Amino acid sequence: MAKTLTYLEAISEGLREEMHRDKSVFLLGEDIGTYGGAFKVTKGFVEEFGEDRVIDTVLAEAAIIGAATGAAIVGMRPVAEMQFADFVTNGFNQLVNITAKYHYRNFIPVPLVVRLPSGGGIHGGPFHSTNPEGWFFHVPGLKLVAPSTPHDAKGLIKAAIRDPNPVLYFEHKFLYRHIKGEVPENDYIVPIGKADIKREGKDISVIAYSTGVHWALEAAETISKEGVEVEIIDLRTLLPLDKETILNSVGKTGKVLIIHEDTLTGGIGAELAALISEHAFQYLDAPIKRIASLDTPVPYAPTLEEYFLPNAKKVLESLKLLASY
């Protein structure tokens, strides 16, 4: 049996189920209790689970991550929310120098989840719309997930909570109420480290995650009318990467387009391009193409933000170039 949920509802349901399943799971963050969270993901949680398990914190991201790390070290399973992903910079030292390295230094697991509402399309400007996954992609000791659908959003939040390692959970704010999908009613997880082929094709491989998957699906449907069949790989997990699925697809199609909403330079797409060039160069029939946001801060004005961000039209243009190469 399945039911239709929004992306936001799927995250909320996953959190609620894990809190019922495991009493060591608790939430902490700014305004997540009485207010129900800035986006209402935790609405009603404090009434259901109490103030000891849904903790409203001070406005101090370093303290939130530090407290969560300490709790994880002694056996709890905290889920810490950054009200906006942008604000994780205030807790960067705790996360990168302490949380990520603790198991390596002390052989003690750190089962911590940091929820990071990220991304543009909401006209939030340069301090509320970034995609900071590239900063953490370079950090050994962290796992990074970025779901694109309600099914994967619920399955990955549950998997992240059960994982013995620190997991950064990138949830896209634009997708919260814009995307609906079928979600199983039974208990399930989406395995961390496993990509999903959202659409099968033989001509071009598109590698994407989060919002990029939806731009790719729209563009692929359009270009299929011209006889070009696009395969779309939804990474779902950014770290560790599912290299096998990526390379198998490239070997089949010979052409690659990589999409991410984060800015272009130094993004995850660059590492994907290097991976493919190193391990699948012999299969390539065209240069690897990347689509990403412009290398500027996220603009506030809606027209400028639209110009700044990737979209289905830009993806379609790149697909046509690759198809004709």
Catalytic residue numbers, as ranges? 128
Two tokens, residue 106 = 């002390």
Q: Could you tell me how many helices (H) and strands (E) the chain has, helices first?
A: 13, 14
Ramachandran class of 31: left when φ > 0, alpha when ψ lies in -120 to 50, beta otherwise: left
**282: exposed, middle or buried (C-beta count within 10 Å: 0-12, 13-18, 19+)?**
exposed
* 100-106 long-range contacts, CB within 8 A, separation 24+: 100/139, 100/140, 100/141, 100/142, 100/166, 101/140, 101/141, 102/69, 102/73, 102/141, 103/141, 103/165, 104/140, 104/141
Alpha helices in the chain (DSSP H): 7-21, 45-49, 61-73, 92-93, 102-106, 133-136, 150-162, 175-178, 211-224, 243-253, 268-279, 302-308, 312-324
Task: Tokens 């096998």: give the residue.
Answer: 244
